[in-house]
Every structure is written in C-alpha cells, then in structure tokens.
Amino acid sequence: MKTRHRQRGLTLIELIVAFTILTLLTALALPLARFKVRREKERELRYALRDMRTAIDKYKDACDKGGMEKKMGTECYPETLDQLVEGVKLANDASGKKIRFLRRLPRDPFTNSTEWGMRSTQDDPKSTGWGGQNVFDVYSKTMEKSPDGTPYSEW
C-alpha cells in the first residue's frame, strides 16, 4: 500500500487570493492615511495662525497701553513678524529690557517654511500683497484648498 504524506504549504490559488486581499486592504487604507495627514496639517495651521494672531493682538494691547514706544504709521501694530520674536524695548525702562511675544515663528505645515503672508491695516482683507506699513494679520502662502473648497490662505 502506498501512503501519501500530507504536503505542507500553500497552493498557487491560495497565494493569489491572499495577495488580492492584501492589495485591496492596502488600497483602502491609503486614502484614509492621506486624509489623516491632511487633517494633521490643518490642525497645525490653525494653531500657528492662532498663536501669531494672539501675539499680534498682545503687541497691539501693550503698545496702546503705552508699554512700548509707538512708531508713526504703524498704528501700534508690529512692523514685521520678526519683531514679535526679537522683542521690543519697554518704554521708560533704562535697563533696556525687551518684551517678546513669540518664542519663534511657527512653521507653515503646507509650505514647510516660516514665511507667512502678511496684511497691514491698509490692505484689503483678501489681498495677497502686503503694503508694508504694519502687520495686522497673517495667512498661509499655500495655494491648496481645504476639503470644503476654502483656500487655506483665507483661514
């Protein structure tokens, strides 16, 4: 009598089915991963814009209260974003102490840079050009749009 030894391993059909299932699962996971990455960038952009706008508002409040020297034509807004990081000398303080409003400029997650679009009080709210008088608002320089169709530069 001949006895058959049970063979171990997978048949070609089983391998093809397993490979097809893995390919389908991978294809379904990629859009979800892209969506998650986009959401993370959006969250980072919101935080960065909020931090810079809060710093601009604090600068304006300190200037309005007379805590620092007022420069003509700036309407008590910072002249540049770097001024928020470098700090401004306090008025009537002989020690030369500076007040800083940001530790560093945040990175724009979409452009991967610390260069932001700026608007002055004299600029149109939707303009992409900066008049240079002061920094009233900031925006992202990316041309990408959010899923609802709103450009990130309008956030």
Average pLDDT, the chain: 87
Which tops the pLDDT comparison, 33 or 55?
Answer: 55
- pTM for the complete prediction? 0.77
Mean pLDDT of 112-120: 92
**pLDDT tens per residue, range 65-85:** 887 877 877 888 999 999 999
Which tops the pLDDT comparison, 91 or 63?
Answer: 63
Concatenate the DSSP letters of all residues of 3-72 into one string: -PPPP-S--HHHHHHHHHHHHHHHHHHHHHHHHHHHHHHHHHHHHHHHHHHHHHHHHHHHHHTTSBPPPT
**pLDDT tens per residue, range 87-97:** 888 877 778 78
